[in-house]
């Protein structure tokens, strides 16, 4: 097991509405970055306000911090968190086989969705009050298929895919340690090394994928992620840079 990283607090709750909501509540009074973990969430959420199902034994957590820089720079920490999740799974299971990172914020195992990341922040203009990085991991059980929207990647659990049983407490320690390492790299060297490491683990790089927003749909070859974290597709109309979308394979 890794050791808990220096400089990061830990706040464990038996039950909460959402660890993201708790992050907003404690942000004004915290002295440094804090990990929040809940044994049970009553109103967990994912991207675009979708409900997030988290059966017992899974990880429901949020890292809340007050980072320097612009909101756009802070948002790049979704890639930092994804790399930390990848390494935490490897640390917990002893294997990287079948693991991949799906833009913008999912971790896949054997082609199924193992974990999701959701960033929320407060502030206005170029100011940033706090950044909350919500992370949910299907450690023990995957949500039922009927709670997943049509066309989405099927959910899987770490236990069902690897046979490895890991408690939320154990996994969070590995995740926090891995995140601290990548956060230090990000602060010291910027997004460049994080971007390259993420691309080395990217799902469907070089393959045809579809990016959907509420207003449009774009299909093309997944070429890269640019220096701003945008998805770059090579389409019939040329290269397209996409800042936010849901991805379908």
Give the per-residue pLDDT at 129: 87
Q: Which DSSP state fits 207?
A: S
- 167-202 pLDDT, tens digit per residue, is 999 999 999 999 999 999 999 999 999 999 999 999
Hey, which CATH number is domain 208-248, 2.30.30, 1.10.287, 3.40.50, 2.40.160?
2.30.30
Residues of the chain with pLDDT under 70: 45-53, 124-127, 147, 150-151
Report pTM. Answer: 0.94
Give the per-residue pLDDT at 149: 72
Give the per-residue pLDDT at 125: 54
Domain boundaries, the chain: 9-200, 208-248
CA atoms within 13 A on the CB side of 208: 5
Hey, which CATH number is domain 9-200, 3.40.50.620, 3.30.70.240, 3.30.930.10, 3.40.50.300?
3.30.930.10
Give the per-residue pLDDT at 51: 60
Give the per-residue pLDDT at 48: 54
Give the per-residue pLDDT at 47: 57
Give the per-residue pLDDT at 33: 98
Strand order in the sheet with 238-242: 238-242, 231-235, 217-225, 208-212, 246-248
- 126-152 pLDDT, tens digit per residue, is 668 899 999 999 999 998 877 677 667
């Amino acid at each position: 097991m890794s050791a808990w990283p220096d400089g990061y607090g830990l706040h464990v709750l038996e039950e909460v509405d959402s660890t993201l909501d708790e992050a907003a509540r404690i942000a004004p009074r915290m002295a440094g970055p804090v990990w929040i973990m809940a044994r049970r969430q009553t109103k967990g959420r994912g991207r675009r306000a979708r409900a997030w199902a988290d059966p017992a034994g899974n990880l429901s957590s949020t890292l809340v911090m007050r980072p320097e820089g612009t909101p756009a720079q802070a948002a790049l920490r979704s890639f930092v968190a994804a790399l930390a999740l990848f390494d935490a799974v490897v640390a917990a299971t002893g294997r990287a086989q079948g693991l991949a990172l799906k833009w913008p914020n999912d971790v896949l195992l054997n082609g199924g969705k193992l974990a999701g990341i959701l960033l929320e922040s407060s502030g206005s203009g170029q100011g940033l009050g706090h950044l909350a990085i919500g992370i949910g991991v299907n450690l023990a059980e995957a949500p039922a298929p009927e709670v997943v929207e049509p066309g989405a990647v099927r959910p899987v659990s770490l236990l069902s895919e690897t046979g490895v049983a890991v408690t939320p407490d154990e996994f969070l320690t590995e995740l926090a340690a891995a995140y601290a390492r990548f956060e230090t790299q990000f602060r010291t060297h910027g997004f460049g090394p994080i971007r390259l490491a993420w691309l080395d683990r990217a799902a469907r790089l070089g393959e045809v994928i579809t990016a959907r927003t509420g207003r449009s749909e774009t299909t093309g070859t997944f070429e890269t992620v640019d220096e701003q974290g945008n998805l770059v597709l090579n389409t019939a109309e040329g290269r397209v840079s996409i800042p936010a979308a849901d991805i379908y394979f």
